[in-house]
């Protein structure tokens, strides 16, 4: 899998409100024992199950859609076995209300082994 296709799958997992699709994306994009660390909340989750349950809450995704907010992908950069990417959540008039930089560290199979999220 290329870095670009991995980033596509990562953002697709964030955007979907379909639990089955989210589960499939998380299962193929993340290593079984992947860890996620989110700042500034200082919370960590271990494994695909923790990622699937904690980060992709369908109710919250539907709330964003209902409010007509959009999730915008920024650029991504590759560096050996890591990818740094940017994103924003915008109101209907284009105002950014949330943004962040995520750092994905990949395993030998090209799956996300560690995820560091820095939200602004």
pLDDT in tens, 40-54: 777 777 776 655 555
Domain 3-119 grouped into CATH 3.10.450.50 = yes
For each of the chain's 120 residues, which pLDDT tens digit applies?
A: 789 999 999 988 887 878 889 889 989 999 999 998 888 777 777 776 655 555 545 445 556 666 778 778 899 999 999 999 999 988 889 999 889 999 999 999 999 999 999 987
Task: Annotate 29-63 with DSSP letters as a single string.
Answer: HEEEEEEEEEETTTEEEEHHHHHHHHH--HHHHHH
Given the structure tokens 């660390």, which residue do they identify?
37
Helix (H, G, I), strand (E, B), or coil: what is residue 16?
A: coil
pTM for this prediction: 0.82
Q: What is the pLDDT of residue 65?
A: 64
The residue extents of the domains of the chain are 3-119
């Amino acid at each position: 899998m290329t870095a670009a296709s991995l980033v596509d799958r990562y953002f697709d997992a964030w955007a979907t409100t379909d639990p089955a699709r989210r589960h499939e994306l998380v299962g193929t994009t993340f290593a079984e024992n992947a860890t996620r660390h989110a700042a500034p909340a200082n919370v960590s989750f271990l494994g695909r199950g923790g990622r699937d349950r904690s980060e992709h809450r369908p109710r919250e995704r539907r709330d964003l859609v209902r409010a007509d907010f959009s999730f915008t992908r920024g650029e991504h950069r590759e560096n050996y076995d890591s990818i740094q990417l940017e994103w924003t959540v915008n109101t209907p008039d284009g105002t950014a209300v949330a943004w962040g930089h995520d750092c994905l560290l990949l395993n030998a199979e090209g799956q996300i082994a560690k995820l560091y999220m820095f939200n602004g």
